[in-house]
Amino acid sequence: MSTWGLVKTVFFTAVTVIFFFIIWIHNPFAPHEEYELPDEAEKIIGDPKVAIEGRELFKQNCTSCHSLRYDGIYLMSVTAKPEWSAIEKAHGKPILEEKDGKIQVRGYFVPRDVYEAVAQADLQNLKASFGKIPPDLSTMYLARGAGYLYNFIMDPQKILPGTSMPKLFYPEYDKEAPQKVAKIVAYMRSVNEPPPGEKAKRTLMGIVTIGYFIAMGALLWIYRKRLLAKMGY
């Protein structure tokens, strides 16, 4: 290859790689918000064992307005209805969890239309008092991320001025408040991320797949070199 050819190759490769790096991996030009997460909160949120505690806190503090259907958690006023448990079993899919080596049902995933029909009056009441129906939180962790959620729950008005979400945790009166919020976020994370074992399996699978293709490419390349040498190209 001539020098000029080499220059062009390097140039076009670099331009392509930089372009896709900017639009796919890190775009320094696009506007984006950062939310600071205190170290302690980050540690709690990253710990999958906290999720069980977080689930209880979530049930106590959040379910008067929010559901989390993907983990079988519904509005308090709906689960209090006498017919609810039958509806759950008839229309929902069981959500399983492993506890002490045994698989058991931790709740039911009820389809949105069924749930909204049953909860019609409750949701309308919430709408009347808050202006809109408080969203279901099943995938909120994926949509907003830990930093946003932590800061938002700690002080909703600061993050989203004008929101109808009330402030529920006051660090002035309750020393535990930041930990509690972090635990709730940890729970929301656990719903949206595969459990640690599964996660490790996926990582391994990814490494094996990538390794396979690199090796396969190299083998084909060497095979071709040998073959062409034999054929006289």
Partner 1 sequence: MIKRIVDWIDERTHVRDLYREQMVEYKVPKNLTFPYVFGVLALITFAIQIISGIILIMYYKPVIAHAFDSANYTIMREISFGWLFRHIHAAGANFFLAIVYLHMFTGIYYNAYKKPRELVWIVGWVIYFVLLVTALTGYLLPWGQLSYWGTVVTTEIPASLADAPILKGLFGAIGETISIWMKGGYKLEDLALGRFFGLHVLLLPLILLALVSIHLFLVRAAGISNPEGYEIDKKNEPEKVAPFHPYMTLKEGAFAMWYLAIFFFFVFFYMHHFLPADNFEPADPLKTPPHIAPEWYLLGFYEVFRSIPSKFWGFVAFNLILVLLLLLPFLDFSPVKSARRRPLFFIMFLVFLFSSMALTVLGTMAPTPTNAKLGMFFTALVFLFFLSLPVISFLEWGWYKARGGRA
Partner 2 sequence: MEASRRDFLGVALGGMGAVGVLGVLYPIVKTLAPSAASTTEAKVEVDITKIPELGVRVTSWKGKPLFVLRLPKDLTEDKYNVKKDSVNKAGKLNYDLLKGQEAYALVGVCTHLGCIPLWKPEGSDAVKAPYLHCPCHGGLYTPWGDNIGGPPPRPLFVPPQKRDGNKLIVGEPGFVKELV
The residue written with tokens 């670099």 in the block is 14
One character per residue 200-229, x = contact with partner 1 (rule: CB under 8 A): --xx-xxx-xx--xx-xxx-xx-xx--xx-
Can you state the angle between helices 51-61 and 177-192, rounded to 10 degrees? 110
Residue 7 binding partner per list partner 1, partner 2, none, with a CB distance cut-off of 5 to 8 Å that depends on partner kind? none
d(CA 141, CA 17): 31
Q: Does 160 bind partner 2 (CB under 8 A)?
A: no
Q: In the numeric block, which tokens belong to residue 204?
A: 């391994």
The span of 29-37, 59-67, 176-184, 213-221 binding partner 2 (CB under 8 A) equals 213-221
Residues near 227 by beta carbon (within 8 Å), at least 6 away in sequence? none
Both tokens of 96, joined, read 């399983």
* Beta-carbon count within 10 A of 6 CB: 10
What, of partner 1, partner 2, none, does residue 131 touch, CB below 5 to 8 Å by kind?
none
Cα-Cα-Cα-Cα torsion 105, 69, 53, 194, nearest 10 degrees, comes to: 80
Q: Specify the residue, 121 or 216, whose C-beta has the smaller distance to partner 2.
A: 216
The nearest distance, CB 230 to partner 2, in angstroms, is 8
Binding residues (CB under 8 A) for partner 1: these are 9, 15-16, 19-20, 22-25, 27, 29-32, 69-70, 93, 109, 111-113, 132, 135-136, 138-140, 142-145, 194, 202-203, 205-207, 209-210, 213-214, 216-218, 220-221, 223-224, 227-228, 233
